[in-house]
Amino acid sequence: MRTLGIDLASTAGSTGICEINWESRTSWVEVGRFQDGLLLDRVREIRASQGWSSIDAPFGFPAAFSRAVAAWCSEGAVDLDSDHDIRRRLSDAYVARRQSAIKSTLPGGWNPWPLSSVVDLITPSVIRCARILTLVSDGDPVDRIGLRSRVVEAYPIAALRAWGVPTDRYKRNKADCERVLAHLCEHTDLRPPQLRGKLASGGDDDVVDAFVCALLARVVATAGGATDPAFVDPPLDLEVVRSEGWIHLPPAGHRLEDLALL
């Protein structure tokens, strides 16, 4: 199996692409400004080979936000007691709970909440992701959970923490990026990813995130449904999840070493 990880930026930003060949235990990574057509071709190629892809970008907006925008456009009025619901998806709350549960076991202080798709400067990436998912669907309804389309949403830093990997300052520090990559390769029995092309300035964390996305795609592909929101306790409103998108995380108890055995 081959898996693909995409650390999606806005069109003007730096996007990372990583592909892992699980038979040869090898991978390659590229970082740069890629056109949507190239990313679409990569995803389609992986799907044609029965592989899975994972994208680091929200697959949708909070349902309350979508309702508020629709009401404002059609009726010119918005009735909200609080703006909390329009900022957070059900998946964001789930990821925050998972991260809060492990926060005391990892060094450093950090916010367990994922970036909001509407207020944390990543909205251009959300729109770009929506365009790619629309094209991937080939006219069918977009699968925002991804288990049918084999294209799933990831949040790399939360996946790393779920595996117990100290993330430190890898988003800003090259040495921490190298340490995280070395840790991942050692525990998954994968060779370090080969860089294709010239690494964009400040793109070391894009390499890590794309690599983690490709790992996460393999987790989802082999987890037997364990990352499916249908099995979250307490139960979630799955209709809302289908409209908002779902961040797949390694199941509780999953280890990087489990990937080395596949």
pLDDT of 40 higher than 70: yes
pLDDT of 183 higher than 80: yes
Mean pLDDT of 229-246: 96
Confidence at 187, pLDDT banded by 50, 70, 90: very high
pLDDT of 161 higher than 80: yes
Query: Residue 21's beta-bridge partner residues?
Result: 2, 26
pLDDT of 99 higher than 80: yes
Q: What is the CA radius of gyration of the chain?
A: 18
- Residue 116 has what DSSP assignment? P
| Amino acid (one-letter) located at 242 | R
Q: Could you give the CA distance from residue 154 to residue 249 in angstroms, rounded to a whole number?
A: 7
Mean pLDDT of 196-213: 87
**Residue 107 φ/ψ, nearest 5 degrees:** -70, 160
Mean pLDDT of 49-64: 97
pLDDT of 120 higher than 90: no
Mean pLDDT of 215-239: 96
Write the CB contacts of 244 (distance below 8 Å, at least 6 apart in sequence).
Answer: 59, 60, 61, 62, 63, 89, 90, 91, 144
Domain ranges of the chain: 2-72+80-260
Q: Map 206-223 to HEC letters.
A: HHHHHHHHHHHHHHHHHC
Q: Could you give the CA distance from residue 126 to residue 92 in angstroms, rounded to a whole number?
A: 14
Confidence at 202, pLDDT banded by 50, 70, 90: low
Are the C-beta atoms of residues 149 and 143 closer than 8 Å to each other? Answer: yes
Mean pLDDT of 116-129: 93
Q: Could you give the CA distance from residue 7 to residue 129 in angstroms, rounded to a whole number?
A: 11
Task: State the CB neighbour count (10 A cutoff) for residue 150.
Answer: 21
Q: Could you give the CA distance from residue 205 to residue 95 in angstroms, rounded to a whole number?
A: 21
Higher pLDDT, 240 or 11: 240
Are the C-beta atoms of residues 181 and 238 closer than 8 Å to each other? Answer: no
Q: Could you give the CA distance from residue 118 to residue 244 in angstroms, rounded to a whole number?
A: 12
Q: Give the residue from 44, 76, 65 showing the smallest Cα distance to 126.
A: 65
The overall average pLDDT reported for the chain is: 93
Query: Residue 32's beta-bridge partner residues?
Result: 15
Task: State the CB neighbour count (10 A cutoff) for residue 72.
Answer: 11
pLDDT for res 119: 86
pLDDT for res 80: 73
For residue 107 the two structure tokens come to 């060094």
Higher pLDDT, 68 or 22: 22
**Residue 211 φ/ψ, nearest 5 degrees:** -65, -45
Task: Give the percent of the chain with pLDDT over 90.
Answer: 81
CA distances to 88, 114, 118, 144, 238 from 84, rounded to whole Å, are 7, 14, 11, 22, 20
Query: Residue 26's beta-bridge partner residues?
Result: 21
**pTM (two decimals):** 0.96
